[in-house]
């Protein structure tokens, strides 16, 4: 399917690896020029080179922490007039409700709620003026079904989800859509790190920890960054103009509910 977005420009945040990289790759395959971002310049430059070589699109890497005002200012200098925004950043650490104080919540809100909102606040007006735009926020399955030890993430991401639910309906008349993609378990560095933690705690191998988690997913496997990126590219395509304010769960059936 031709996604109809060849020649558009996209900012894909936190995209040197993992799900963000999957989104960058899929948009590039559809002919979209990219501004890519991550904190580590080396991996980011490598990813930018690889995507440029594979897809022949223009790729501008901007290293910086997207959860800080300085980082965002640098990124926005290169991405002021993009047609497509994919927001993403690392997730807050796990823990127990009684451990978290105000500062922990402020950090989580800054990273996973207020950073995407700040980017939308800057980029939505240009998209609306031009009469076309797409925003996809990478959130988590925990928005639909909370993961108890990820209380900081549950709180910040549901806050973003509430903001999107209202805002998406305010900008839709200008041809701009905002939607969220909710990853379940995907095979990325983050999933490896979580499995490694389980392996160490329980005295089992990484492979055993992973096999145990895969068995708990109806699809009996982890998702891939490629599948995730394809869903993102579809939401950014001309064909998804009537998809407004939705939360698309990509979890291999792991979240058990009817609707």
Residues making contact with ligand NAP (CB under 6 A): 14-20, 37-40, 43, 65-67, 88-91, 138, 140, 183, 185-186, 188-191
Least CB distance to ligand NAP at residue 21 (A): 6
Pick 12 or 32: Cβ nearer ligand NAP:
12
Pick 1 or 215: Cβ nearer ligand NAP:
215
Pick 176 or 195: Cβ nearer ligand NAP:
195
Least CB distance to ligand NAP at residue 160 (A): 11
Distance CA 34, CA 52 (A): 9
Least CB distance to ligand NAP at residue 6 (A): 25
Distance CA 24, CA 40 (A): 16
Least CB distance to ligand NAP at residue 170 (A): 25
Pick 91 or 151: Cβ nearer ligand NAP:
91
- Tokens for 191? 């999933």
- 3-state DSSP assignment of residue 181: strand
By beta carbon distance, the residue nearest ligand NAP is: 18
Distance CA 56, CA 38 (A): 21
- Tokens for 3? 């996604």
Instruction: Give the length of the chain.
Output: 259
Least CB distance to ligand NAP at residue 220 (A): 15
Main-chain phi, psi angles of 181, to 5 degrees: -105, 130
Contact by Cβ (8 Å): 27, 10:
yes
Least CB distance to ligand NAP at residue 251 (A): 8
Buried b (16+ CB within 10 A) or exposed e, 160-178: bbebbeebbeebbebebbb
Residue owning tokens 């145990």: 212
Pick 19 or 176: Cβ nearer ligand NAP:
19
Residue owning tokens 């993961």: 147
Pick 4 or 90: Cβ nearer ligand NAP:
90
């Amino acid at each position: 399917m031709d996604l109809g977005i060849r020649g558009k420009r996209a900012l894909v945040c936190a995209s040197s690896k993992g799900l963000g990289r999957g989104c960058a790759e899929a948009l590039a395959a559809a002919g979209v020029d990219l501004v890519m971002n991550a904190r580590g310049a080396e991996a980011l430059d490598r990813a930018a080179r690889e995507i440029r070589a594979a897809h022949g699109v223009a790729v501008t890497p901007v290293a910086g922490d997207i959860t800080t005002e300085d980082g965002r200012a640098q990124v926005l200098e290169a991405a002021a007039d993009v047609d497509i925004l994919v927001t993403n950043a690392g997730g807050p650490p796990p823990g127990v409700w009684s451990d978290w104080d105000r500062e922990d919540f402020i950090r989580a809100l800054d990273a996973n709620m207020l950073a995407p909102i700040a980017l939308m606040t800057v980029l939505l007006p240009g998209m609306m003026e031009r009469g076309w735009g797409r925003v996809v926020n990478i959130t988590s399955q925990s928005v639909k079904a909370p993961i108890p030890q990820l209380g900081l993430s549950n709180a910040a991401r549901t806050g973003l989800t509430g903001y999107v639910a209202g805002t998406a309906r305010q900008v839709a008349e200008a041809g701009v859509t905002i939607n969220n993609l909710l990853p379940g378990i995907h095979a990325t560095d983050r999933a490896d790190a979580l499995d490694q933690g389980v392996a160490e705690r329980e005295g089992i191998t990484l492979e055993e920890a992973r096999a145990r988690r895969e068995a708990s997913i109806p699809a009996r496997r982890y998702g891939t960054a490629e599948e995730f990126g394809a869903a993102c590219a579809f939401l950014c395509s001309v064909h998804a103009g009537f998809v407004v304010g939705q939360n698309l769960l990509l979890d291999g059936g792991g979240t058990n509910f009817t609707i």
